[in-house]
Amino acid sequence: MWGGGVAWSPDIDEYVDLAVWLMRMCGAINAAVAQCLRVAGSCVGGMGTAVAYPSNDAVLAGQGLGVAEYIVIGAGPAGLAAAGFIAKAGSRVAVFEGRPKPENVFGSYPVVLNARGLSALESLDPTLMAKAQEIGMAVKELHIVPDNKTVAKVPTYGTCIMRDQTAHLLLEAAEAQENISFYWEHKLSSIDFQTKTCTFELPDGSQKTFSAERLVAADGNRSRVRRFCEEHVADFSADADPWGFQLRFMNSKGVPGQTEVNPDVHFVLGDKGYVCQQPNGEWSISLRVLPDSDEEFITSDQATDENVQKLKEYVQTYAKFAADNLLDDEAYRKWYDCKAFDGVVVKCSCLNPAGWICIIGDAAHAVQPATGEGINSGLEDAAVLGEMLKEHPEDPFAAFDQRQRPNAHALQKLALQAKDRVTKPPPRTQAVNLMVTIGLAMAKKLHIIEGTREDFTIGEKAATAGIKSYDELVQMDERQRSKLLPVATALAKIFRIPKEHPATQTQA
């Protein structure tokens, strides 16, 4: 109001208090309103005398409430990339992570950034892709080696890098942005879906509450955000199927001077595990563990002489090249210090529950290691979110859901297929899958098909012919296999390959 040409300002604080209340109720949209009120208060209080009022964050800090335009839950590669794209679009973002800031990048596990993941890094910042390729190792071939027999050599395109090395590159880039804030050791404890506020628990037991216009959930395969959405958002649901197996690792520097095992090659040990060299020069040998059926020497945490000897014999049986050239006694014994870990395969009914939340990465579509798509699909999600922020600023999360939901559901199909290959499928299923794989290889060699699903994920086709969406890959794979499956199934019946495992038949 104006009166007699004199600026009216004594009750501006009442407007500030009102703005704070609105922000509590409606989230960060009203932060802009409060700022406008303060600017107006400065102007009308002035005509030569500026009135200084505290910032939104300062006022809300006094009320125990923090504000951000965007909140990202999870500081893994997907979350950090998402924060980078949001900041690039000009918005303020606060990143929350329940764990401390990581220090040892080699304490994680090796991953392969394929054409999809590298393209996502490049779209955020070309220097990120260049740095990843510089500190990582080029992967030139993938050898399939079941039972010590090399049955296939697949030309590949990708960069082997530690998962936390990728996160570290993204973190360095994010920390250089003024509009990104980080909150380490802030564990999400609750979400108020009405007021769009998140409450976090700190290491000392205290709590802090933040309000945001929008929230990006990148908190992994056992996402708390996803669980809270299941509990409180109507018509939202999620499936989380266990992998059905666990993984354990051995690391070794290898036998000095060995040249038998090429570091440019990664090795798939059939359904038993995976071997590759890490960027620090150490070799990583991961083995599948079936807790309910494997022998004690595989599942135990006791490095007894008997267990170590049996483990050596096991590796000789399934990965002789690793036993002879890469592993020593210390590596075998450290196996028993490595805790086995597992995961789940996730499918969400939608990716934008409640409208103001967007679920990405493993929180949206966790896969399992055999797909090789975990980190790559998460980085792609972040890149797509960046596109939607530009193309659909009025509702980027709805646009993201429309674009990525079919791909997330396709990923689940790929993950479940990979799970079946790792968890000992029945003999007939194994035989049918093998015959179909051989048939596809022949069709590719005869130029009947352009390439297989693998050629457009880990293979060179993704780099030369273009990246296909996961939905496109699943549809292509189903078309290709539809002609071969009936023939392979008929042959399996003719040769009387058992439908079930012998032990199952005996029990029946």
| pLDDT tens digits along 120-168 | 999 999 999 999 999 999 999 999 898 899 988 889 999 999 999 999 9
The count of structural domains within the chain is 3
* Residue 444 binned pLDDT confidence (cut-offs 50, 70, 90): confident
* Residues 189, 332 contacting (CB under 8 angstroms): no
User: Could you say which of 62, 78, 102 is where a domain stops?
Assistant: 62
pLDDT for the residue 368: 82
pLDDT for the residue 42: 32
Residue 357, domain member (yes or no)? no
The answer on pLDDT for 7 being more than 70 is no
Amino acid (one-letter) located at 464: T
User: Could you say which of 42, 62, 82 is where a domain stops?
Assistant: 62
Residue whose token pair is 């839950």: 73
The answer on pLDDT for 485 being more than 50 is yes
Distance CA(50)–CA(105), nearest Å, equals: 50
Distance CA(429)–CA(454), nearest Å, equals: 20
User: Could you say which of 47, 62, 77 is where a domain stops?
Assistant: 62
pLDDT for the residue 308: 97
Give the β-pairing of 283-289 and 273-277.
Answer: antiparallel
The answer on pLDDT for 325 being more than 90 is yes
Residue 383, domain member (yes or no)? no
Residue 228, domain member (yes or no)? no
Task: Tell me the angle at which helices 115-124 and 374-391 cross, rounded to the nearest 10 degrees.
Answer: 40
- Mean pLDDT within 478-494: 92
* Residues 146, 269 contacting (CB under 8 angstroms): yes
Higher pLDDT, 491 or 11: 491
Read off φ and ψ for residue 271, nearest 5 degrees: -100, 15
CB atoms within 10 A of CB 309: 12
Residue 482, domain member (yes or no)? yes
Read off φ and ψ for residue 234, nearest 5 degrees: -65, 145
Instruction: List, in order, residues 6 or more apart from 456 with CB less than 8 Å away.
Output: 462, 465, 467, 468, 473, 476
Distance CA(363)–CA(351), nearest Å, equals: 10
- Mean pLDDT within 385-402: 98
The answer on pLDDT for 51 being more than 70 is no
Residue 315, domain member (yes or no)? yes
Residue 182, domain member (yes or no)? no
pLDDT for the residue 13: 42
Read off φ and ψ for residue 373, nearest 5 degrees: -115, 0
pLDDT for the residue 508: 43
| Region of poorest pLDDT, from 399-408, 412-421, 437-446, 472-481 | 412-421
| Region of poorest pLDDT, from 154-158, 307-311, 463-467, 501-505 | 501-505
Distance CA(258)–CA(325), nearest Å, equals: 6
pLDDT for the residue 65: 63
Share of the chain above pLDDT 90, in %: 68
What's CA 347's distance to the chain center, in Å? 14
Distance CA(440)–CA(430), nearest Å, equals: 15
- Mean pLDDT within 404-423: 87
Distance CA(291)–CA(132), nearest Å, equals: 36
The answer on pLDDT for 347 being more than 90 is yes
Distance CA(236)–CA(148), nearest Å, equals: 46
The answer on pLDDT for 492 being more than 60 is yes
Residue whose token pair is 């976090």: 200
Give the chain's mean pLDDT: 86
The residue segments making up the domain with residue 504 are 425-508
DSSP secondary structure, 21-83, as one string = HHHHHHTTHHHHHHHHHHHHHHHHTTSS-PPP---HHHHHHHTTEEEEEEEEE--SHHHHHHH
- Mean pLDDT within 26-53: 35
pLDDT for the residue 423: 67
Distance CA(508)–CA(505), nearest Å, equals: 5
List the structure tokens of 7: 């600026």
Burial label for 324, CB within 10 Å (0-12, 13-18, 19+), is middle
DSSP secondary structure, 209-276, as one string = EEEEEEEEE---TT-HHHHHHHHHSTT--EEEEE-SSEEEEEEE--STT--SS-TTEEEE-TTSEEEE
Q: Which of 159, 155, 77 is nearest to 110 (CA)?
A: 159
- Mean pLDDT within 89-108: 91
Coil, helix or strand at residue 6: strand
The answer on pLDDT for 21 being more than 60 is no
Residue 407, domain member (yes or no)? no
pLDDT for the residue 441: 85
Residue 75, domain member (yes or no)? no
* Residues 112, 410 contacting (CB under 8 angstroms): no
